[in-house]
Amino acid sequence: MSQHLLLPLVILAISPIPGAFPDSAFSPTQEEPEDLDCGRPEPSARIMGGSDAQPGSWPWQVSLHQGGGHICGGSLIAPSWVLSAAHCFVTNGTLAPAAEWTVVLGVHSQNGPLDGAHVRAVAAILVPDNYSSVELGADVALLRLASPARLGPAVRPVCLPRASHRFAHGTACRATGWGDIQEEDPLPLPWVLQEVELRLLGEAACQCLYSRPGPFNLTFQLLPGMLCAGYAEGHRDTCQGDSGGPLVCEEGGRWFQAGITSFGFGCGRRNRPGVFTAVAPYEAWIREQVMGSEPGPTFPSQSPQPQSVLSEPTDENCTIALPECGKAPRPGAWPWEAQVMVPGSRPCYGALVSESWVLAPASCFLGRISSDHQPGDLDNWRVLLPSRPRAEHVARLVPHENASWDDASDLALLQLREPVNLGAAPRPVCLPHPDHYFLPGSRCRLAHWGRGEPAPGSSSLLEAELLGTWWCHCLYGRQEATVPPPGEPPQALCPAYQQEEAVAGRCWNYSHRSLLCREEGTWFLAGIRNFPSDCLRPRVFYPLQTHGPWISHVTRGAYLEDQLAWDWGPEGEETETHICPPHTEHGACGLQPEPAPVGVLWPWLAEVHVAGEHVCTGILVAPGWVLAATHCVLRPGSTTVPYIEVYLGRAGASPLPQSHQVSRSVISIRLPRHLGLRPPLALLELSSRVEPSPSALSICLHPGGIPLGSSCWVLGWKDPQDRVPMAASVSILTPRLCHCLYQGILSPGTFCVLYAEGQEDRCEVTSAPPLLCQTEGGSWVLVGMAIRGSRELFAAIGPEETWISQTVGEAHFLPPSGFPLWPPESSDLCPPDMAGASGSPQAAIFLLLLTPLIQG
């Protein structure tokens, strides 16, 4: 089943003690012959405690095998009949052939030769006509054995409830099986039958829990014929592989089968108790199927029950369980912060993930442990936890198997010698399931991780907002890679810091941090980063969610918590597949961030403030370089270099606080060598690099012409005071049209544009706006910069490729694609009346387009 899983059939401390039931409690009814006694395990002395069932406790439990392995559970209800779940046998509406199945009876541990067990072939599988899928109910099946089971101490039938039988809410019952002990975590060898105590939940209480959005925002409608058992807080449950097995409740010394394990959402999750097929409503169906088979199942009448128990309480309270992990009194006061003290080194920071386990980077300890981490070595290790009077001892260290070569798996789990009492502190952090989707814009914090140094500057540096998966993946991932959609683990998590600037130029020598993200007031350990590679701040984190299964497998009880925030925004869930635009040899360029988190739509657009006098646009072409129009930065005839300051990261209409902007001063102006004329393009060298972020990202450049299939825009501002960025849609004219329109006045490599209707006045000429095109792949490309005083003419970037590449080093020239220039034109001649055409360009162009007809 796909909606598998949960929690361990947790080991129960309480085992049934059949011998404790006085014989007088057993009074077979007249229609039930005594030799077919049901629901009573063989009385035996046994030890209490543990999670494995005692051999012989559940003699009706059978294992259903297909292809040589255990698939589902079942229960013996008569020598020739086994009760199980329909979904074990029906795939896509087709019932599996009975011959594929065998029934193993009297088995306890499924490891090795099945001592004392015996096997029966299946003669027929019967499923109700109205069964279609588990969520729609009727998940029940009967198996007729090819020959009767051999009854004995380890093989006995269970009692079935009559249709009138009522099991009281809150009754502690038992589920048994060989299913997974947690989601995606199979029962380990020697595969001993597990039992778990589950309380029956009333219909109202169960429906109330399932009406709250849970894993993947799903809710579920409980139907008649289903029953729920488990706990709002989760932890104890059935799981994949337990299906078809029995849920039994003891009454008057006999065990009645109240339910058949059917399904659930995950295993042991909060507010998601297991769902069972109620057996009592199927009395008639069962009797009908087994009719004529002797001896048949036993349906003892219910011993009288106090009326209070039988009446269905209508006001059953609905107690939603809240997360037990991830609550902090305030950001920064982390009740899970664990300091691992290893003699001879600085403390290593990790996080408490359960009452007995701490997660920390393996690189803190690697080299200190022999391959089998001798316990002697751990004797002097200590763990400091908040609000604990004394340091904890360490019993075991379990490094991740890939820790030594894969930075994304730089993890180790440390088991404390004694579990700690959980409360306000210490309290574990929540861990995400693999399908967790941290929404773009989530509020996050950076916390200590490993041997990181305290962050320089203010604590707001540790605040972050999560960027969209697309942006993060395409900036740091592979070009043309598919972006993982919500629900698939991301390859990277990118937080945007509140103060991009404050650490520029400073170096966090040890940029070891973990990323904590908050959902509905609950903190999750979302990512880790543990290498001091670039000495700037950390900006991309390895997601922890892929490690959830390993952590829960090792710890058997870390707090994996469901996603709590589901507000995907107005567009809802994004299902479209996104592909990252091509990278250049210097990485990603021209990615336009989704507007949501930071609000900057044009991360390459710079304000160039010249000598405190005027401002024009510039374009970030590499981490330390801005391209601008020469006429903007150098006064005609002047030879002195003015003081220039460059600002990046300006949001749309709403000016962002100063802290969002990135500023740099210009330390040199570079011009290409041009014969005679003053070159139109200037490169400004910034005082320091600007690392990629959603507020400052280099644009792509194109070596010639216009990338095929692109749409083009002039980007500037209308008002020189507020400088709100504006983009005006334009078409680029063919060289012939351009030449004819502006005959004689153009230098080669000049673009002319035609504004879309009503867009001409969107940008102020004095802003010296750039001409950008967005390629079909989605990257933004700079193709020209405005020529002095013109709104229509742009100096092409392509011809200056060599100069730009040599000056800048890291310029992002895309490989030539499509037609680098326009297709050849039929004639170089301009129509006679067009030379020096004045008046409206639209009118002139109309004329031009007509000329071939006129000439022809």
Residues in the site for ligand 4AZ, rule: CB under 6 A? 1, 4-6, 237-240, 242-243, 261, 263-264, 267, 274
Q: Toward ligand 4AZ, which CB reaches closer, 178 or 625?
A: 178
Active site residue 180: no
Q: Toward ligand 4AZ, which CB reaches closer, 96 or 765?
A: 96
Q: Tell me how far, at minimum, the Cβ of 448 lies from ligand 4AZ, in Å.
A: 36
- The Cβ of residue 59 has, within 10 Å, a number of other Cβ atoms equal to 24
Q: Rounded CA gap, 435 and 608, in Å?
A: 44
Active site residue 761: no
Q: Tell me how far, at minimum, the Cβ of 214 lies from ligand 4AZ, in Å.
A: 12
**Strands of 342-475, DSSP E:** 348-352, 357-360, 382-384, 392-399, 412-416, 431-432, 443-448, 463-466
Q: Tell me how far, at minimum, the Cβ of 436 lies from ligand 4AZ, in Å.
A: 19
Give the H or E element holding residue 603: none
Q: Tell me how far, at minimum, the Cβ of 243 lies from ligand 4AZ, in Å.
A: 3
DSSP string, 74-113: EEEEETTEEEE-GGGTEETTEEPPGGGEEEEES-SB-SSS
Q: Toward ligand 4AZ, which CB reaches closer, 239 or 666?
A: 239
Residue length, the chain? Answer: 856
CA neighbours closer than 13 Å in the CB half-sphere of residue 188:
4
Q: Tell me how far, at minimum, the Cβ of 70 lies from ligand 4AZ, in Å.
A: 12
Q: Compute CA distances 393 → 135, 357, 427, 429, 598, whole Å.
A: 47, 11, 18, 20, 45
Q: Tell me how far, at minimum, the Cβ of 88 lies from ligand 4AZ, in Å.
A: 8
DSSP 488: S
Q: Tell me how far, at minimum, the Cβ of 312 lies from ligand 4AZ, in Å.
A: 24
Kindly give, in sequence order, each residue whose CB lies less than 8 Å from that of residue 468, ignoring residues fewer than 6 positions away. 440, 593, 594, 596, 597
CB 253 within 8 A of CB 43: no
Q: Rounded CA gap, 689 and 667, in Å?
A: 12
Q: At 159, give phi and psi (nearest 5°).
A: -85, 145
Q: Toward ligand 4AZ, which CB reaches closer, 172 or 835?
A: 172
CB 490 within 8 A of CB 484: yes
Q: Rounded CA gap, 125 and 589, in Å?
A: 61
Q: Tell me how far, at minimum, the Cβ of 651 lies from ligand 4AZ, in Å.
A: 47
CB 245 within 8 A of CB 176: yes
Q: Tell me how far, at minimum, the Cβ of 65 lies from ligand 4AZ, in Å.
A: 16
Q: Toward ligand 4AZ, which CB reaches closer, 71 or 616?
A: 71
Q: Toward ligand 4AZ, which CB reaches closer, 6 or 628?
A: 6
- The Cβ of residue 436 has, within 10 Å, a number of other Cβ atoms equal to 26
Q: Toward ligand 4AZ, which CB reaches closer, 241 or 440?
A: 241
Q: Toward ligand 4AZ, which CB reaches closer, 237 or 355?
A: 237
Q: How far is CA 434 from the centre of its chain?
A: 6
Q: Toward ligand 4AZ, which CB reaches closer, 236 or 631?
A: 236
Q: Toward ligand 4AZ, which CB reaches closer, 72 or 475?
A: 72
Q: State the catalytic residue, choosing from 139, 180, 185, 562.
A: 139
Q: Tell me how far, at minimum, the Cβ of 133 lies from ligand 4AZ, in Å.
A: 13
Q: At 254, give phi and psi (nearest 5°).
A: -120, 155
Q: Tell me how far, at minimum, the Cβ of 264 lies from ligand 4AZ, in Å.
A: 3
The CA angle 133-138-139, to the nearest 5 degrees, is 65
Coil, strand or helix at 845:
helix
Q: At 285, give phi and psi (nearest 5°).
A: -60, -40
- The Cβ of residue 288 has, within 10 Å, a number of other Cβ atoms equal to 11
Q: Toward ligand 4AZ, which CB reaches closer, 70 or 451?
A: 70
Q: Toward ligand 4AZ, which CB reaches closer, 240 or 339?
A: 240
Active site residue 567: no
Name which of 228, 551, 198, 532 is nearest 360 in CA terms. 551
Name which of 531, 499, 539 is nearest 515 in CA terms. 539
**Bond prior to 128 in cis (omega within 30° of 0):** no
Q: State the catalytic residue, choosing from 15, 57, 80, 243.
A: 243
Q: Toward ligand 4AZ, which CB reaches closer, 226 or 239?
A: 239
795-824: b (≥16 Cβ within 10 Å) or e = bbbbbbbebbbebbebbbbbeebeeeeeee
Q: At 3, give phi and psi (nearest 5°).
A: -90, 55
Q: Tell me how far, at minimum, the Cβ of 401 lies from ligand 4AZ, in Å.
A: 27
With tokens 């075991």, the residue in question is 396
**Bond prior to 295 in cis (omega within 30° of 0):** yes
Joined together, the tokens standing for residue 270 give 């909060």
Q: What is the 3-state secondary structure (H, E, C) of 272-309?
A: CCEEEEECHHHHHHHHHHHCCCCCCCCCCCCCCCCHHH
**H helices within 192-231, ranges in order?**
203-210
Q: State the catalytic residue, choosing from 87, 108, 436, 609.
A: 87
Coil, strand or helix at 375:
helix
Joined together, the tokens standing for residue 189 give 């060898």
Q: Rounded CA gap, 88 and 96, in Å?
A: 9
Q: Tell me how far, at minimum, the Cβ of 220 lies from ligand 4AZ, in Å.
A: 12
Residue with nearest beta carbon to ligand 4AZ: 264
For the annotated catalytic residues, the residue numbers are 87, 139, 243
